[in-house]
Amino acid sequence: MRLSSLPIATQKEAPADAEVISHQLMLRAGMIRKLAAGIYSWLPLGLRVVRKIETIVREEMDRTGALELLLPSVQPGALWHQSGRWDLYGPELLRFTDRHKRDFCYGPTHEEVITDIARRELRSYKQLPVTFYQVQTKFRDEIRPRFGVMRSREFIMKDAYSFHIDEPSLDQTYQVMYDAYTRIFERTGLRFRAVEADSGAIGGAVSHEFHVLADSGEDAIAFADDGDYAANVELAPAAPPAQVQTGSGAAMEKVATPGAESIAAVSESLGLAPRQCVKTLFVCAADEGPPVALVLRGDHELNAVKTVKLPGVAEPLRMAGPKQVQSATGAAPGSVGPVGLSGPVYVDHAAAALADFACGANEDGFHLVNVNWERDLPRPQSVDIRNVLAGEPAPDGHGTLSIARGIEVGHIFKLGTKYSAALGATVLDDSGASIAMPMGCYGIGVTRIAAAAIEQNHDSAGIIWPQAIAPYQIMIIPLNQAKSDAVREKSEQLYARLADNGYEVMLDDRDVRPGVKFADCELLGIPVRVVIGDRGIKNGTLEVRGRRDSDNENIAPDELDNYLERKLAG
Ligand code: ATP
Ligand code: MG
């Protein structure tokens, strides 16, 4: 491709609303353009990256024997009524009616549609197991679309669905998919990690997420460096502390803490470490009754996924408003605590192991110190409602946890018979009995991977594409081509030769200053650049440089093929 024929200019600055680096760089490099909130056009360079990712995904899915199909993106509401999800899915589902006033939605996922195919086509256990997949546009009316194509409303997903006669067969395909995902992410050249994940409301006990590791990731993942344990922090269980504190015997006392509302301020005002203070949060109750109190150590963070599974807690998790807190405790949220509460209370294991702790006094501007379970308030049964922290032992007993940030790029689930039972997708087994097929589902965020790759691989000059998903592999930069016939000719020759040899090459044949060409080449993240100038031609050398290298190399033209092979390997 000749840059002179690409009518999309790179930009020095990104719009102010582009918060994360991948969003900024994708806009500046001319990969994407925003059409509406969370809805993006893919321009030529961006689309090449998407296509490369799709190709890797397709090759590895085909290798497992999965069958590609393409399902409609517009789906009849009737199917969603049958599965029960029309009412459950909430406002993320984009709904509309056709001219006959029939309900439709734009597919956020395709369990209903594929199960409809399965119930029509599959008759016998002899046709199983079978896995179908597609690469297709989804729409989810995300409450906060942000970070460009990383959390957009319209995006491309590869989704696959498997059908089985029994659970052992599902287990087998699940492992095949796990391995295929591992190969897919290895081939993209990204650093990633597979972790145990919450399977949410979808049901099914087992699920794994694949995360691209990047500091900007929305998810926290916990893993043992010296063991096998790896899980989303949402899910990772926090064990009760090995030791329970014993009190000094000092009496509980009420202390004025004017203006101190946060744990940091309370801890400073009382001269007590945050881990010796407890915080009490209130969430809405499932039955609209008084809010549920959650008691945690001051240095611990509430885990919403664990909390929402507790009996009596409303799903989705909602913090109680200040008015509700006031009527439950008589105080504002900054001064509340568990002593004397009459409503439902859950205490985290670590908070339950404290003695002589501090908490809000349920009176504005006051806290209690030297509080002890059993003596000053009933010792409640404790639960796990906090996030694990780095340095804690891994839940499986092997090694110590580290925490890293991750971007979820893939998610595999064992669904069980939720959809096949609801929609009547049955086959006959070898004894002639009708069986609802256990199912698996397997998603990959194709367009999110493009952004995640940039989050993980960039520097101050721009994108650094792993070569497997770079839009082009090589950029040829002629210097002062307008004045030098030799430079122009050599560049054209090299461009033609490399393209003939199967390389994906860009030629920056624009009449712009060398500095502009170098800057754009770095911004676009092209893995190798080859500079052609009069000096090199005179010396019989080519100037080459890999995107991650700090220096140029001058090589003889007939060494170029070796150099490229080395640089662009794997
Ligand atoms: P998230 O937790 O990030 O909202 P999810 O768990 O709802 O994602 P899945 O239903 O597991 O997503 O979808 C499969 C994959 O599709 C995800 O692993 C992710 O890579 C991708 N994906 C999901 N939502 C979006 C989105 N809004 N924008 C881009 N990609 C997405
Ligand atoms: Mg997911």
Rounded-to-integer distance, Cα 14 and Cα 402, Å: 34
Beta bridge partners of 351: none
For the chain, the 3-state helix, strand and coil shares in percent, each to the nearest 5, are 30, 30, 40
Q: DSSP E strands: which ranges in 287-361?
A: 292-297, 345-348, 357-360
CATH 3.40.50.800 applies to domain 472-567: yes
Q: Please report, rounded to a whole number, the percentage of residues in the chain having pLDDT higher than 70.
A: 99
Residue 48: band (very low, low, confident or very high) from pLDDT cuts 50, 70, 90: very high
- The residues, ordered by sequence, that sit 6+ positions from 65 with a Cβ below 8 Å of its Cβ are 131
Q: Any idea what DSSP says for residue 115?
A: H
pLDDT given for residue 288 in this prediction: 84
Inter-residue contact 137 to 154 (CB < 8 Å): yes
Nearest CA to ligand 1 atom 13: 443
User: pTM for the complete prediction?
Assistant: 0.92
CATH 3.40.30.10 applies to domain 16-236+402-455: no
Q: List pLDDT tens digits, range 423-454.
A: 999 999 999 999 999 999 999 999 999 999 99
In angstroms, how far apart are the furthest CA atoms of the chain? 92
Q: Strand 192-196 and strand 130-139: pairing?
A: unpaired
Inter-residue contact 442 to 30 (CB < 8 Å): no
Q: List pLDDT tens digits, range 501-525.
A: 999 999 999 999 999 999 999 999 9
Pick the CATH number of 253-383 from 2.60.40.10, 3.90.960.10, 3.40.50.1000, 3.40.50.1700: 3.90.960.10
What is the torsional sign of CA 169, 433, 415, 117? positive
Q: How far apart are the first and last CA of the chain?
A: 23
pLDDT higher than 60, residue 140: yes
Is the CB–ligand 1 distance for residue 210 below 6 Å? no
pLDDT higher than 70, residue 202: no
Q: Which two tokens stand for residue 414?
A: 């064992």
pLDDT given for residue 200 in this prediction: 61
Distance of alpha carbon 35 from its chain centroid, rounded?
23
pLDDT higher than 70, residue 490: yes
What is the torsional sign of CA 328, 330, 332, 336? negative
pLDDT higher than 80, residue 19: yes
Residue 216 amino acid letter: S
Nearest CA to ligand 1 atom 6: 411
Nearest CA to ligand 1 atom 22: 445
Is the CB–ligand 1 distance for residue 111 below 6 Å? no
Instruction: Give the ligand with the smallest distance to the CA of 443.
Output: 1
Is the CB–ligand 1 distance for residue 409 below 6 Å? yes
HEC string of 360-382? ECCCCCEEEEEECECCCECCCCE
pLDDT given for residue 226 in this prediction: 86
Q: Strand 253-256 and strand 345-348: pairing?
A: unpaired
pLDDT higher than 70, residue 131: yes
Distance of alpha carbon 346 from its chain centroid, rounded?
30
Choose the weakest-confidence range: 197-211, 237-251, 347-361: 197-211
Q: Any idea what DSSP says for residue 241?
A: P
- The residues, ordered by sequence, that sit 6+ positions from 285 with a Cβ below 8 Å of its Cβ are 291, 292, 312, 313, 314, 344
Q: Strand 474-478 and strand 439-445: pairing?
A: unpaired
Nearest atom within ligand 1 for CA of residue 445: 20
Q: What strands lie across the sheet with 103-106, from one edge to the other?
A: 74-76, 103-106, 94-97
pLDDT given for residue 276 in this prediction: 96
Is the CB–ligand 1 distance for residue 230 below 6 Å? no
Beta bridge partners of 157: 136, 445
Is the CB–ligand 1 distance for residue 443 below 6 Å? yes
| 121 closest CA partner among 466, 384, 427 | 427
Average pLDDT on 468-480 reads 97
Residue 105: band (very low, low, confident or very high) from pLDDT cuts 50, 70, 90: very high
Q: How distant, in Å, are the alpha carbons of 240, 347, 354 from that of 344? A: 21, 10, 20
Average pLDDT on 34-47 reads 97
Average pLDDT on 286-312 reads 94
pLDDT given for residue 380 in this prediction: 82
Find the helix or strand (DSSP H, E) in which 306 lies. Answer: helix 304-307
Find the helix or strand (DSSP H, E) in which 85 lies. Answer: helix 85-88
Is the CB–ligand 1 distance for residue 157 below 6 Å? yes
pLDDT given for residue 381 in this prediction: 84
pLDDT higher than 90, residue 252: yes
Supply the mean pLDDT for the chain.
95
Rounded-to-integer distance, Cα 267 and Cα 397, Å: 33
Q: Which two tokens stand for residue 14?
A: 């990104």
Is the CB–ligand 1 distance for residue 152 below 6 Å? yes
Choose the weakest-confidence range: 204-213, 279-288, 406-415, 510-519: 204-213
pLDDT higher than 80, residue 308: yes
Sketch the domain layout of the chain as residue ranges. Answer: 16-236+402-455, 253-383, 472-567
Q: List pLDDT tens digits, range 370-388.
A: 999 999 999 888 999 999 9
Choose the weakest-confidence range: 32-46, 188-202, 347-361: 188-202
Nearest CA to ligand 1 atom 19: 445
Token pair 């669904």 in the structure block, residue: 415
pLDDT given for residue 469 in this prediction: 98
Alpha carbon of 151 to ligand 1 centroid (Å): 8
Q: Please report, rounded to a whole number, the percentage of residues in the chain having pLDDT higher than 90.
A: 93
Average pLDDT on 480-494 reads 94
pLDDT higher than 80, residue 203: no
pLDDT given for residue 205 in this prediction: 65
Inter-residue contact 170 to 438 (CB < 8 Å): yes
